[in-house]
Amino acid sequence: MSDRTARALVLALAILLVAGLVLPKWAISLAIISLGKGLVVLGMMLLMRTGLVSFGQGLYYAVGAYAVGILNQVYKFSDAMLMVAAGALAAALIALVLGALLAGYRAIFFAMLTLAFSMILYGLLVKSSALGSTDGFNVDARTLAGIPMGGGASYTLYAFASIAAFLGAWGLHRYQGSLLGRIAPAIRDNELRVEYLGASVRAVVLLNYVIAAVLSGAGGAIVALAVGHIDPEMAYWTTSGEFVFVAILAGTGSVAAPFLGSALFEAIRTVAYQYSPYTWQMVLGAAMLAVIMFLPSGLWSLFERRRARP
Amino acid sequence: MAILEARNLVKRFGAVAAADGISFAIEPDSVVGLIGANGAGKTTFINMATGYLKPDSGAIFYQGAEITPLAPRAITHRGICRSFQVPQLFLSLTVRENLLVSAGIAVRHGAGGRIEAQVADSLERFALAAYADKLAGVLPEGIRKLLDIAMALAARPKVLLLDEPTSGVSAEEKFGVMDTVMQAVRPQGVTVLFVEHDMEIVERYGERVLAFYEGRIIADGAPRQVLENPEVREFVVGEHAAH
């Protein structure tokens, strides 16, 4: 790994793995959820670089989680790695179908259609008693690639989530440096010119949509394993809105930004809920306003400014 | 065989005929100027030849094969590329990144060569090296025009359509822009069609000129011959004949 971002990601992974050995259980749990949701926001970041905002990423987040739930409860699978891989695969397959339709839409039409699809899934889950209806159901992984692990937020799951987040961020970093990755901001700027240069905008949009779905599916599966419970709220529009919130909070300047934003979001929410249980949303709203007013390019712009300073 | 041929093209926008039975053929390795007043149908022809607009009737042929129904992307792959009156750039990317995207797409679709080598070559041939790390959104107009054309050339076309390559460029810069473009494309044997309102440019760089008026071609020939045509002088150049 020769470039600076890759080295920083390796360092971040090492710090995470070491820190996990001394962190209390509640912090481990919070960190796994942040890493899982960070993966979803990482996918959102790719879509935003392509000029698209999805208000329905909760769909794939829920698909990943429910793939874990179904494999665990119905088919009695208990290996975390296998179930997360299945969650990502299920999300990819659904994204291939829905993405073929969505790739022709832009701006508010794309955003609203993604929202509509996620709400359709929410409706199906709520009405499906076989999948636990509004209550959802519990999930429990006992092994990770054959290695025994404790249920819920164990260090093993934390380490796995850290490695998954590292691989997601590093993979996306590599992708962004490739030709297809470079076409994404070109599409955002001027898709007519991209077509005139000979590339298929539709194909690139579909590919990025599927990648975002895979990351969301994996993220949903990891969060499901950490929380030990899944329910239809994961597909609800407020969950998707939360991912948009974190993406704006974090900014799109680096593949590390979604994880930083996600961790900060979870920390603010936890503290706000503890001290102000009835008005915690107001605290989040104020945080968002502050970011939009003082850091319009997101939290990551703080690091970019520092780097740009002579 | 003609490299590009239009046969009886008709295109109407409501009551306005932007193309009203246009027919002509372009020989390979030639430089052809398209002149005409605003609304005469020059850009409409470029838009039809590159697949952005479909004619109401008639057909366009490239190396003897019909390209009328093809999408812009497919026409680019065949070997026809274009630049734009208002440069179509990726404004949030640097000049180098704009060229990386265009060269990358071209190489991926079989243009051959290495992407980085192509970018370095474009930066040098179009005198863009000094701007390589500047965002396209902050470039002066003349440099934007050059970048726009350099991007079109990345796919190594056999036919290059330039839509007003010197519009918005200062009088001092216009010959510099055209000289740079011609030095870049002519050694490669690229056939060039350029739309232009500046008759000095047309006379200096065109080997043949087509004059458009209300969707028709009213004169076709050597630059001097076309520019001295009374109809062209009245309807295109704007000099009214003495009565």
Percent of chain A with pLDDT over 70: 97
For residue A190, the chain B residues in CB contact (below 8 A) are 88-91
Tens-place pLDDT, residues A78-102: 898 999 999 999 999 999 999 999 9
What CA–CA distance (Å, rounded) separates B95 from B144? 9
- Crossing angle for the helix pair B141-153 and B171-185, to the nearest 10 degrees: 10
pLDDT of B242 over the 80 cut: no
What CA–CA distance (Å, rounded) separates A153 from B2? 72
| Tally of CA atoms within 13 A in the half-sphere of B42 that contains its CB | 27
The mean predicted confidence, pLDDT, of chain A is 90
Tens-place pLDDT, residues A247-291: 988 888 889 999 999 998 888 888 888 888 888 888 888 888 888
Q: CB contact, 8 Å: B104 with chain A?
A: yes
pLDDT of A186 over the 90 cut: yes
What CA–CA distance (Å, rounded) separates A57 from A37? 11
Q: CB contact, 8 Å: A185 with chain B?
A: yes
User: H-helix or E-strand containing B150?
Assistant: helix B141-153
What ranges do the domains of chain A cover?
A: 4-236
The residue assigned the tokens 């979870």 is A266
The answer to whether B141 touches B86, Cβ cutoff 8 Å, is: no
Per-residue pLDDT band at A305 (split at 50, 70, 90)? low
Q: Are the beta carbons of A182 and B88 separated by less than 8 Å?
A: no
Please name the residues in contact with B199: beta carbons below 8 A apart, sequence gap of 6 or more. B35, B227, B237
For residue B98, the chain A residues in CB contact (below 8 A) are 186
Q: Which of A115-119, A241-245, A304-308 comes out lowest in average pLDDT? A: A304-308
**Closest-CA residue to B138 (of B174, B95, B86):** B95
The answer to whether A117 touches A95, Cβ cutoff 8 Å, is: no
Here the ipTM equals: 0.88
Q: Are the beta carbons of B76 and A200 separated by less than 8 Å?
A: no
pLDDT of A69 over the 50 cut: yes
**Closest-CA residue to A126 (of A242, A226, A235):** A235
A182, A297, B93, B210 from A189: Cα distances, Å: 12, 17, 9, 34
pLDDT of B71 over the 70 cut: yes
Nearest CB neighbour to B93, from listed A189, A195, A198: A189
In one letter, which amino acid is A130?
Answer: A
Please, which residues bridge with residue B66 across strands?
A: B61
A56, A107, A118, A241, B136 from A112: Cα distances, Å: 8, 9, 10, 12, 32
Tens-place pLDDT, residues B17-37: 888 999 999 999 999 999 998
